[in-house]
Amino acid sequence: MGYMLRYNPAMQLTYKLAKEGWLGELFEANATMSKTISSASERKQLAQYPGGTMFELGCHVIDSLVHVLGQPQKVHAFGRKMKPKQDGLVDNQLAVLEYEKATATVRSAMVEVSGEKRRQFVLCGDQGTIDIRPLEPAKMLLALSKARDPYKSGYQEIELPKSLGRYDGEFIDLAKILRGEKQPDFTPDHDLAVHETILRASGVMV
C-alpha cells in the first residue's frame, strides 16, 4: 500500500496536535474518501477483488485513523452494490470503528459526483476539533477551547505549507531511513494493524 496521506501537510499537523494533546481526549472521528468510476471496464476489474471501495480508497484514511487513535477494538462493515446487474463491485461502503471512549466512521464510494472534492477527515477531542476538507489540496479548519500560540481560541482556517507532492514525503523519508538518519515514522506493527483494520472495514474475513 502507498498510503497517500501520511505526509499531507494537513495530516502531518493533525498527527502533531493530537500527539501533543492539543485536542484533549479524542472521542470522534469521521472520514470520507470517494470518487466517481464510470468506466465499465475499470469497475469490472476492481470487482475481481474482495474489499470494494473501502479497500481501494478507504485504506488511506484508515491509515491516518489508526495512527491517531490506534487499532480499534471492534470494526463493523456495511457494504452496498449500486449497480448489481452490471457488476459485483461493492461501490458504496461504511465502516464503524469502536474504541474505549471514541467512535470513528469511514465512508467510501465510487459513485459520488466529484467525490474527490469532498474527501475529508474530521477529528474531535474535548478541547479541540480538526476539520480537513478537501484533503487535496488540503484546506484545514481548527477549533480550540483556548488559545495556543500561534492559534487563537474558536474556529480558524490554518495556513498550510505547500505539498511537495502526494508521495514525495514518503520517498524523502525512505531515503533518510536507508541512510541511517532516522527511524521510520510508521512501524511494521502499525502497518499490520492498519492492514487488519482495512480488511475488517472492507467486510473481508481476517
Q: Which of 196, 141, 136, 130 is nearest to 167 (CA)?
A: 136
SS3 label, residue 112: coil
Residue 196 has pLDDT above 80, yes or no: yes
What's the pLDDT at 91? 97
Residue 141 lies in a domain: yes
Q: What does pLDDT average to over the chain? A: 95
Ramachandran bin of 12, using left for φ above 0, alpha for ψ from -120 to 50, beta for the remaining angles: alpha
What's the pLDDT at 113? 96
Residue 76 lies in a domain: yes
Exposed e or buried b per residue across 23-59, where buried means at least 16 C-beta atoms within 10 angstroms of its C-beta = beebeebbbbbbbebeeeeebeebbeeebbbbbbbbb
Give how many domains the chain has, as a whole number.
1
Single-letter amino acid code for the residue at 150: P
Distance CA 86, CA 104 (A): 32
Q: Looking at the chain, which runs of residues are DSSP E strands?
A: 26-32, 74-80, 92-98, 103-109, 120-125, 128-132, 140-144, 154-158
Write out pLDDT tens, residues 55-103.
999 999 999 999 999 999 999 999 999 999 999 999 999 999 999 999 9
Residue 206 lies in a domain: no
Q: What is the model's pTM? A: 0.94
Band (165; pLDDT cuts 50, 70, 90):
confident
What's the pLDDT at 62? 98
Residue 164 has pLDDT above 90, yes or no: no
Looking up residue 192, the CATH number of its domain turns out to be 3.30.360.10
Residue 2 lies in a domain: no
Residue 28 has pLDDT above 80, yes or no: yes
Residue 3 lies in a domain: no
Q: Which of 166, 145, 171 is nearest to 156 (CA)?
A: 145
Residue 154 has pLDDT above 90, yes or no: yes
The bridge status of strand 128-132 relative to strand 74-80 is unpaired
Q: Is the dihedral of CA 161, 164, 169, 175 positive or negative?
A: negative
Residue 84 burial by CB count (10 A; 0-12/13-18/19+): exposed, middle or buried? exposed
What's the pLDDT at 1? 66
Residue 20 domain boundaries: 9-201
SS3 label, residue 43: helix
Residue 188 has pLDDT above 70, yes or no: yes
Residues 6+ away with beta carbon under 8 Å from 169: 6, 7
